[in-house]
Every structure is written in C-alpha cells, then in structure tokens.
Amino acid sequence: MMELEALQEIDSEVRALGGRIVALTPERERYTRNVHKKLSLTFDILTDLHLKTAEQFRLVFALPDYLRDLYRSFGSTLDRFHDEPEYRLPMPARYVIDKEGIIRAADVNADYTIRPEPSEAVRLLRTLRA
Amino acid sequence: MASLQSRLDEFKKAFESGAPPYNAPHDAIETTHRATAALKASGLENIALKVGDRAPEFTLFNQDHVKVNSAELLRHGPMVVSFFRGHW
C-alpha cells in the first residue's frame, strides 16, 4: 500500500516523461478496484491472476506453513484474495522497462520492508529520454 | 513528503513495538523475521529477471476489467512495473 501511495506521487512526472506506471498483484479485481478507489490512483492496478506474469519475471515464492498459519490468524486469507488454494506471493519488485522492452532497472528484495525510492525511477526515465 | 523508506521504517517500528494499533504479538514478529531470512537465504532474489534482460509481454485486466497489454503501453514510452502482494 505504501508502495502504491509513493508511486502515485510520481505518476504525473512519469507521464510527463512519456512513461506509464502499472502495479501488478495476484489479487482479484474486486480487491484491486477497492484499493484503486481508496487511494485515488491515476495508474492501473493489474490482476496477475495465479501469478502468471510474476512467474515469468521469476519472482514467485510459496509461503512457509508457519507464515501461512500466521496470516490466516490475522484474517489474510490469500486463497480467497487470489482465487487459488496455494499461498504463493510475488517478491516485492520494481522494474523500469524501456521502449524496446529491455529492463533498465530492477529492484527485487526478499525483505518486503525495504523498497527503493520512486524518485530513482523518475531519474532513470529522464536519462532514457535524453 | 517523507521518503518511502522512512515511511516503511516508521511502520516497521510501530508494528514491531507490539503496541496499538497493531498489537503484534512477539512470536508473530519472530515468525515474519524467520520467513524473511529464509527467503533471503533461498537466493530467489538473484534468480529474478535483471537489468539487460528482455521483459516478458503481458496482457492483464485492470481494476475496471479493461485488458491492458504491455507491448501497447511500451509503444508510447517506458514503463514502471511494480509487483506487490496485495491490499492486506
């Protein structure tokens, strides 16, 4: 959620540079719709159902049983959110992809409490444009 | 506006304090640390696509049930793609 809010703050700059932001999650549309509205986002959230795209970026991992039980006890029933019984998730990741489809920045971190600053993406987009 | 990382750090501090509003039990915090350490140790981070790789094309539904194609977006300019776990 904090990632989405932070991306929202750079969306107009990204657009001014000719770019687009998209956020991918395994969650079903009923959840993406709510989040999109709640945060008044101006970029799209895409439902990567069953993590097909995250798999292609090689980001998918299965939650260990002990974490699965913990999340369930918090009411985070991922099987319902994702429409699948498996508790799999994408590693948090942010990519900048150029017009030719080549990855120019890749920030992947197993620790979901560490994220790069969105301003770094803006800086890179400026360089790509130059 | 505070940086994203400082906001995350603040949240982590509040969550791991065990105090309201999160009231996270100590063993729950330990469990999440254990899982993060295990994922880190698995080396999966190093397997993910990297700078210089070609990004896979995707076509997915957005929040309004409209199909969005990555190649179509790239025709106009570069793309920032963020993967996140969900609303919870």
The pLDDT of residue A10 is 96
| Domains defined for chain A, CATH in brackets | 2-124 (3.40.30.10)
Average pLDDT over residues B53-81: 97
The pLDDT of residue A94 is 97
Q: The tokens of B69 are what?
A: 């194609």
pLDDT of residue B24 exceeding 90, the answer is no
Per-residue pLDDT of chain A (130 residues; tens, 9 = 90+): 789 999 999 999 999 999 999 999 999 999 999 999 999 999 999 999 999 999 999 999 988 888 888 777 777 677 777 777 778 899 999 999 999 999 999 999 888 888 889 999 999 999 998 7
The pLDDT of residue B38 is 87
Q: What residues 53-112 of chain A have any CB closer than 8 A to a CB of chain B?
A: 53-54, 56-59, 61, 63-64, 66-67, 70-71, 74, 76, 78, 81-82, 89-106, 108-112
Residue of chain B nearest A28, judged by CA positions: B63
Residue of chain B nearest A15, judged by CA positions: B77
Report whether A110 contacts A91 (CB < 8 A).
Answer: yes
Contact B4 A103 (CB under 8 A): no
- Dihedral Cα B47, B81, A129, A13, nearest 10 deg: -140
Give A-chain residues touching B77 at CB under 8 angstroms. Answer: 17-20, 99
The pLDDT of residue B75 is 94
Residue among B66, B67, B82, B88 with most chain A CBs within 10 A, to mutate = B82
Measure in Å the smallest separation between the Cα of A64 and chain B Cα atoms.
7
pLDDT of residue B78 exceeding 70, the answer is yes
Give A-chain residues touching B32 at CB under 8 angstroms. Answer: 67, 70
| Token pair 């509205």 in the structure block, residue | A37
Compute the count of residue pairs across chains A and B with CB atoms less than 8 Å apart. 232
- Between CA B68 and CA B3 the distance in angstroms is 30
Q: The tokens of B36 are what?
A: 């993060």
Name the band, by pLDDT with cuts 50, 70 and 90, for residue B1.
low
Contact B82 A93 (CB under 8 A): yes
What ipTM was reported for this prediction?
0.92
Average pLDDT over residues B34-47: 88
Q: Phi first, then psi: give them for residue B65, nearest 5 degrees.
A: 60, 35
Q: How many CB atoms lie within 10 A of CB B60?
A: 20
